[in-house]
Structure 1
Amino acid sequence: MKKALTLFLTAVFAIFVLSACQNDDEDKESSKAASVEVNKEGFPIVDKEIGLSMMAPGTGMEEWKNMPTLKKYADMTNITFEYETPPLSDFQTKLNLAFASGDISDIIFGAGTNNLTPAMEVDYGQQGVLLPLEDLIKDYAPNLQKLFEERPEVKKSITTVDGHIYSLPMVNAETGGTSASWYTGPLWYNGQWLDALGVKELPKTTEEFYELLKRFKTEDPNGNGKADEIPLLDVKMDSSRPWLLSAFGMKTWGIEENDGKVRYTPIQPEYKEYLTFMNKLYEEKLLDPETFSQSDEQKKAKGQANRVGVFPDWFSFFTTGETEEEAVNNPMFYPLTSPVSKERVVPLNPGIQRGTFSITKNNPNPEASIRWVDYFYSKEGFVFLNQGPEGYLWEWKDKDAGTKKQLEIPEGFESSEDYRGTLTPDYGIATPGLRSPIEGYGEKSDFEKFVNAETAKKIDPFGEVPFPLVYLTADEQKQINAIEVDLQSYVKQMEAKFITGVEPLSNWDTYIDTIKQMNIEKYVDVYQKAYDRWAESK
């Protein structure tokens, strides 16, 4: 019995000693990881390899651990990752569960503002789950620091109400003359129809636009002998609306800022004029009667059947089914003026996507982590992230001259974009970095030249950002949440009713009274205060 007790106590003591040693080793490893020396310039970022964890939305093209870009960058930096990449469709749910449990990865990458919302940044930042990044940026992120100095609006747009930065953005470096400046896909004219009718100059006023739509309706521009033309086509007005609202002096459908004053456009007199004009188009069947009921697939089918005169899309050939070479004949919509707005204006993309990179409290190496992401805010770093290392999409043609040669994609891929999605995480999600045009492949295509020229002529001279990216306090967010869902639902419903004539515009005052009862004054006031904070920040 005594011998058995002795053996038992010996075993317990051994387990205790072993456990203590293991804990001591873990503490040492943790301490060592936390105090790892970070090189402030060049590569590697750390002299001895460290491992971190990352949570990001997966696009299903390839396991991140197998992506050549990430494998090459691990070699360059001496930082490896364990990746958690739930499908994009399920990412927000998984991210919310990770926040709730506290078992969250060291880095949140590529979430974007739809998944890591501004309210979440503020909430989890103030709880200490997301680390403040501004001091790390000053000490370890020279590319980001340079960006903040050159473009103060970027720093203002990612600094929360408590003065901290909890998440880094994706930023467009050069938007002028490229599609990066687009607020949404533009309206395009059917060039074949313009040629058939001998139209040499595009409409520049709402009246001229109306007259051209009437010609599209009555003069058989598709030449099939049938009265099957649809002058103006959209799905629920979501894509056409920004460009048509602008003809009446409004930059967006909702909150916008003009000369420091915030307003809600769907209650403005100019909005009533927009509805009146659209109702006129609908009543005369110049606007597709199926606008508020059809799907994107139905819209595309009409475009491919050459039944459409004016339509929205990112590029016109997405709707028409033409080639890029044929699509250069489809001119971009020219901004209109109207009797209530003599100045041309179009909405402009702010060029900033928030919520793309955050460091959590579980991260033992925030300094190394911020250096890791800072590379993507350099021109060289973004090209590496976007195009991957040499030997997959490209190879050097003349390295000294900076020219590259595009490589043939392997069999089994429908496009170079599909193949690129297996090489890099910069595919289908908002990744951190300073996005700039990819150069070195020689002369641009005729279609790219066409798009850039149209943008430089018809969007850039008239573009204004409708409203800056702001943050709300927790109390302000609560007030907005109590108003916004019902407000947006009602306004959207009434737009369709007014345009189709189900609700006569003689009931405009009733519409306004209903919105006032929804506390629109408080809604605008919250955004006015948020704008004022943004404007006054440095």
Structure 2
Amino acid sequence: GWWPCNTDALVKEQEGSYQDWVVLEPVKGPKGVQLAAYYPTNYFQSNYGLVSADCKNPELAVKFFDLLASQEMTLITQNGPKGIAWDYVSEGTSIAGGEAKWKKIPAKKLRSSQIPDYTDEGLNFVKYVWDPDAVMTHNTNDFRLSQYCANPKTSVEALLYQCGKAYSKYKPDDSTMLPNLAYTEEDAKKIADYTVSIGKFVNQATVQFITGDLDINTWQTYVDKINSMDLAGYLAIQQNAYDQYAKSLGK
């Protein structure tokens, strides 16, 4: 997935100056490299249903996973009850400009700026959707982009889609992406320590290079500092985990 901008902070489903803005595509770097940040297995699309050896009814557990991964249950878990928070449609234009298949139903009133109030519909509780990291969902591009869009010029989702299209041209090849790796308990603890030390330093330095607080001419000093934090040890653990992953695939 691509996250080029926070559209919610800019678009409020009404006319505005933001409509004159254009997406700033990734700038071209040394040797013509021009890539967008890309997360093929990100936080929201990496959930699995596991059946333990002690499960008394594995068939029912798998059926429950199938239910969660269905289109209708995905709409329920992400939006709320059918006919109240969302519904199917047979006409209208989708976010992607095609035929719409479903739409969100705006709440009649809000408990706060972000939380719909459905007490008039008999739903007297605040949390009417499930956390996306607690369930499996059916989030294919075609399904997500089939959402009804009344006005593409003022729609949050339509603008986000246009941003994604602009960035997708610069997506790195999947073969170059590091997959989610599994570590031994000992290595996992070391990775956590490296994330605090090396990760924190790199993040701070990145900001300082951008703001000019660090001179790009001091790059070698920056590299030497990372090496002194045992970058080689960190890379060795990652390499070993990747080698085990590749071996499991017969590569």
Residues 330 and 322 (structure 1), Cα distance of their counterparts in 2 relative to 1, 3 Å cut: farther
Q: Which residue of 2 aligns with 1:375?
A: 67
Shift of 1:336: 1.4
**Amino acid of the residue matched to residue 481 of structure 1?**
A
Residue 434 (str. 1) matches residue 118 (str. 2): no
Residue equivalent to 2:107:
409
- Cα deviations by residue, 1:58-102 (Å, 9 ceiling, x for unpaired): xxxxxxxxxxxxxxxxxxxxxxxxxxxxxxxxxxxxxxxxxxxxx
Relative to structure 1, the CA distance from residue 383 to residue 355 in structure 2 (aligned partners, 3 Å threshold; closer, same or farther) is closer
Confirm or deny that 1:445 pairs with 2:154.
no
Q: Would the aligned equivalents of 2:41 and 2:179 in 1 still touch at CA under 8 Å? A: no
Question: 1:444/1:460 Cα in 2 relative to 1: closer, same or farther (>3 Å)?
Answer: farther
Report deviation, 1:520: 0.7
The match for 1:217 is none
| Cα shift at 1:516 | 1.6
Instruction: Decide whether the 8 Å contact of 1:409 with 1:415 is kept in 2.
Output: no
Shift of 1:523: 0.9
Is contact 2:187–2:237 with CA below 8 Å preserved after alignment?
Answer: yes
| Whole-angstrom CA distance in 1 between matches of 2:206 and 2:114 | 41
- Over 3 Å counting, the alpha-carbon distance change for 1:537 and 1:415 in structure 2 is farther
Output the amino acid matched with 2:39. Answer: N
Q: Paired residue for 1:17?
A: none
Cα distance in 2 between the residues matched to 1:337 and 1:468: 25
Alpha-carbon distance in structure 2 between the residues aligned to 1:489 and 1:441: 39
Partner residue, 1:337: 28
Shift of 1:537: 3.5
Q: Give the deviation of 1:372 after TM superposition.
A: 0.9
Of 119, 129, 135, the residue aligned with 1:424 is 129
Q: Evaluate the alpha carbon distance shift between residue 460 and residue 412 of structure 1 in structure 2; reply closer, same or farther with a 3 A threshold.
A: closer
SS of equivalent to 2:40: coil
Q: What is the aligned partner in structure 2 of residue 523 from structure 1?
A: 234
Q: What does 1:395-406 correspond to in 2, within 5 Å?
A: 395=87
- Correspondence for 1:463: 171
TM-score scaled to structure 2, two decimals?
0.68
Post-superposition Cα deviations, 1:130-153, rounded to whole Å, max 9, x if no partner, equal xxxxxxxxxxxxxxxxxxxxxxxx
Q: Deviations over 1:15-71 (max 9, x none)?
A: xxxxxxxxxxxxxxxxxxxxxxxxxxxxxxxxxxxxxxxxxxxxxxxxxxxxxxxxx
Give the Cα–Cα distance (whole angstroms) in 2 for the partners of residues 520 and 438 of structure 1.
40
SS for the counterpart of 1:508 is helix
- Give me the CA root mean square deviation: 3.7
After superposition, the Cα gap between the structure-2 partners of 1:535 and 1:415, relative to the gap in structure 1 and judged at 3 Å, is farther
Letter matched to residue 35 of structure 2: V
In the TM superposition, what are the counterparts of 1:14-53 in structure 2 within 5 Å? none
The alpha carbon displacement at 1:512 in A equals 2.3
The one-letter amino acid paired with 1:468 is P
CA apart distance, 1:342: 0.6
Alignment deviations for residues 505-529 of structure 1 (CA, whole Å, 9 cap, x no partner):
4543333223222211121122122
Aligned residues: 223
Task: Tell me the equivalent position of 2:93.
Answer: none
**Alpha carbons of 1:412 and 1:530: their partners in 2 closer, same or farther (altered >3 Å)?**
same
Structure 1 residues 412 and 495, CA gap change in structure 2 (3 angstroms)? closer
Select 2:191's aligned residue among 455, 466, 480. 480
The answer for unaligned runs of 5 or more in structure 1 is 1-180, 187-312
3-state SS of the aligned residue for 1:487? helix
Hey, what's the Cα distance between the residues in 2 that align with 1:504 and 1:405?
50
Paired residue type of 1:314: N
More strand by share: 1
Structure 2: distance between partners of 1:408 and 1:482: 45
Q: Distance in 2 between matches of 1:390 and 1:471?
A: 39
